[in-house]
Structure 1
Amino acid sequence: MNDNQPSSAASSPNASGWRVLAVLSLLMGFASISTDLYLPAMPAMAEDLGTATGMIELTVSGYLIGFSLAQLVWGPISDRFGRRIPVAIGLLLFIAGSAGCAMADSATSLIGWRLLQAIGACASVALSRAMVRDLFEGDRAAQMMSTLMTVMAIAPLLGPLVGGQIEILFNWRMIFWVLVAIGVIALLALSTLEEPLPRERRSSEALGRALRRYVELIQHRRLLAYIGVGGFFYAAMFAYVAGTPFAYIDYYGVPSQLYGLLFGAGIIGIMTTNLLNARFVSRVGINHMLMWGALATMLCALVTALNAYTGWFGLWGIAVPLFLFTSTTGFIIANAISGALRDYPHRAGAVSALVGATQYGSGVIGSALVGLWSDGTPSSLGLVVALGGTGTFLCAVIVQREHRHQP
């Protein structure tokens, strides 16, 4: 199979192709479900462990640190040894980390187990993106990425709703035992998937040299621009993830079991825009879809910040623009990832890891800033979202300029 011939199993609408789509969607969903499932339980976790809410927010930041940095190792490993074995090892680490979280007796140990959980989960997410590049080309890859993200959006849609019910019926620890079970299911599903990276297409480069090549990759301005789009957007998105439980539940008094409805509305928006992107990206092109999406992102982010600072329209003053902001994900992430991967078919694992590390590393900063700047109001949430949305748009402008100068 050469770089211009996608796998027939994945590109044809037969039973095998749908099975590949289902497995890749499950693997890509680990980034969301690992956090979204326990979001409604965060206040209860702080109370049970006798710690400040800021420490529980650090379980999100700690997870993102492990998730971002470990990808830089998994990427070159998968380029050399294939995708399936690294993903399987990562799933085993995820299962162990989830079990540790369920048995944690302090916020510090919980953060540590979340770190291990993240190191394992990121292999599934980063390498499933590389698998899409292994199997599809150009705008078709962006189309498939949007389709996968639409399917996997079911996880964060149901996550807070299910997590809130688990916390009410049992306790927050049961949420992590559910994650253990999901990890086992994913491991079994992976065993049904054929290796998408044949031996003849694997890198023979030593891992140390492969890691040093990241320095060469970041010297490409067009790649950096695509990475910047996703990085700024994820900083804002994870500010939303870390900040809305306390803004909605603590500040505005939304019941924890209803928080999932507000969160889930955003996921429905994401699914809708991913479907729209999958439908139109082959006609309009990756960069035009990205540019219009980035403009909408910035406008929604600025309205969120204005209402968060002034208190205009109360809960709905930030919930509605945040819904519109999160909905733009479908025009941002799939196109930014596909654009970054397009020029590097032989380094798909490394580029995917670099993209993911930057996105989730930015998420660390975004979620941490919400906690550090918190004053008991949603203002810190609004500020970080506004900064991230503006950065997303400016990087999209750079992408457009780079393509005009370097077609």
Structure 2
Amino acid sequence: MTALDERTTTTERGRTITAALLVTLALLSAVAPFATDLYLPAFPTMVADLNTSATAVQLTLTAFLLGLAVGQLAFGPVSDRYGRVRPLLVGATICVIASAATVLAPTIEFLVGARFLQGVAGAAGMVIGRAIIADLATGRAAARALSLMMIVGGVAPVIAPLAGGFLVGPIGWRGALTVILGLSTLMLVAVLVIVRETHTEHRRAELRASRATLGSPLRDLTSRAFVGHAGAFCCAFATMMAYISASPFIYQTMMGLSAGEYGAMFGVNALALTATSAVSARLTARHDVRRLAGIGLAIGFASTAALLGIATSGVPAGWLALPLLVTVGSMGLVFGNTTALALGAAPRAAGTASAALGATQFGLAAAVSPLVSIAGEHTAVPAAVVMTCTITLAVIGFACAGRRGRVGAGLTPRG
């Protein structure tokens, strides 16, 4: 039984992150992967229905991802200044409106614009959700909550395309986008019913007063602890994205698996990520968060090194499956814990810190994804090189962060 089955998750500051709030924050983080992947199987149909090209349809995905990056940079700092709930409600409301516009889009140009707006607004849930956890908890409690959220993050990218494959046939691409509209509406309702302000006016006034003695809250974002742990998280995520980008040609072209078998292998790896995230959430109650993150990075480094060795050795491609499984699974010990360590190092600017994490995360992911296939679809060497380099950078960032980071910044308990 995981902590999601318990009534509450107790933080180290005496406050609680209720199970309902945690599920709501997980939903906020899941809307983006569902909005990204659910309608992918409908791309060929969309080309014909909208009388456009495959490139133009692909732009609907690019526009959404671009909006996601822009939105995080916008909503994070705004939530530090005005509180969490108001920007979150604005973002959720706009996301519902934009989602409805995608369903009714008469042209591809209209759809691209609506998808961009949907990405900008949908980013509010991702960036503010992390900030809310940082408001309520630090250290082990924050790592536990973020690891539990990672369970949803690991499952959503797998469920979405599979569900889309089943849904597109009977309900079409507009029906798939209607499902996303439904999720966006559910997100708005959950925010209205469950989420309460965690970055109160009193807290914001206290932060403004602290400038005289502690300087700008943004200074926390230049600390060794934040930069190092944020770098570790973002580079580890880039390792994961390199795997995701390379997985179709590694499993299908090189190993000769069918589309269904590829989906099964992808699902097994996602299950490994989910399981280790759940294990990490339980271990944080008894073990040091930084040590758990270090173990995950060490396992990831060893497995990517093995992947590189296999890719360059000329042995059968099937041997690549094991180090890929171990690499993906190890990220369950890394993502939630390094995120908690990074946000814990910048408590006075949790929204801006969360935005910096998200923007860098997706920026690096976009940069590494095209590199994995630069030598063609019949070799895993570029993917192995990219994954080894990114996990090495993650280890270096983690080491540079130092053993201990400034967590509380001398402020009173949060509320």
Task: Please report the TM-score for the alignment, with normalisation by the length of structure 1.
Answer: 0.81
- Write the letter of the residue equivalent to 1:303: A
Deviations 1:146-189, CA, capped at 9 Å, x for gaps: 12322554423422321222234454554333212111111111
Q: 1:290 to 1:4 in 2, by over 3 A?
A: closer
Is 1:128 paired with 2:134?
no
2:6 corresponds in structure 1 to none
Aligned length: 388
1:62/1:364 contact within 8 Å kept: no
Larger Rg: 2
Query: CA–CA distance in 1 between the matches of 2:375 and 2:118?
Result: 27
Q: Which amino acid letter does the alignment assign opposite residue 295 of structure 1? A: A
Residue in structure 2 matched with residue 274 of structure 1 by the alignment? 277
**Does residue 1:166 correspond to 2:167, yes or no?**
yes
The one-letter amino acid paired with 1:221 is R
Matches within 5 A, 1:173-184: 173-184=174-185
> 1:76 matched to which residue of 2?
77
1:365 maps to 367
CA distance in 1, matches of 2:19, 2:151: 14
Partners of 2:267 and 2:367 lie apart in 1 by 24
Check conservation: 1:153, 1:270, Cα contact below 8 A.
yes
Check whether the contact 1:161–1:261 (CA below 8 A) recurs between aligned residues: no
Distance 2:385 2:343 in 1: 31
1:347 partner letter:
A
Corresponding residue number in structure 2 for 1:393: 395
Q: Find the aligned partners of 2:284 and 2:361 in 1 and give their Cα distance.
A: 22
Q: Which segment is superposed worse, 32-41 or 388-397?
A: 32-41
**CA distance, structure 1, for counterparts of residue 136 and residue 404 of structure 2:** 28
* 8 Å CA contact 1:274, 1:331 repeated in 2: yes
CA RMSD of aligned residues (A): 3.6
When residues 31 and 234 of structure 1 are mapped into structure 2, their CA distance, relative to the original with a 3 A threshold, is: farther
Report deviation, 1:390. Answer: 2.0
Matching of residues 315-354 of structure 1 within 5 Å = 316-354=318-356
Between the aligned partners of 1:305 and 1:88, the Cα distance in structure 2 is 46
Structure 1 residue 128, shift from structure 2 partner:
0.7
Partner of 2:296: 293
Shift in alpha-carbon separation, 1:374–1:118, aligned structure 2, 3 A: farther
State the match for 2:91 in structure 1: 90
Query: Contact 2:235/2:361 (CA < 8 Å) preserved in 1?
Result: yes
Q: Percent identity?
A: 28
Contact 1:38–1:175 (8 Å) recurs in 2: yes
Deviations 1:46-72 (A, max 9, x none): 8985436xx877766554433233212
Secondary structure (helix, strand or coil) at the match of 2:378 reads coil
Superposed, 1:237-256 pairs within 5 Å as 237-245=240-248, 247-249=250-252, 254-256=257-259
Distance (Å, rounded) in 2 between the aligned partners of 1:261 and 1:364: 25
TM superposition shift of 1:269: 1.0
Distance 2:376 2:98 in 1: 32
Quickly say closer, same or farther: Cα 1:369–1:139, change in 2 above 3 A.
same
Aligned counterparts, 1:132-151, within 5 A: 132-151=133-152
Q: For the residues of structure 2 that align with 1:163 and 1:370, how far apart are their CA atoms?
A: 26
- Structure 2: 5+ residue stretches without partners: 1-10, 408-415
1:5-30 deviations in whole A, cap 9, x for unaligned? 4534x3xxxxxx22212211111223
Change (3 A) 1:328 1:274: same
Distance 2:90 2:178 in 1: 19
Q: Offset at 1:216?
A: 3.4
Q: Which runs of 5+ in 1 are unaligned?
A: 11-16
Structure 1 Cα separation of the partners of residues 165 and 283 of structure 2: 36
* Alpha-carbon distance change, 220 to 103 in structure 1, aligned in 2, over 3 angstroms: same
Structure 1 residues 248 and 172, CA, compared in 2 at 3 Å: closer, same or farther?
A: farther
Q: TM-score, normalised by structure 2?
A: 0.79
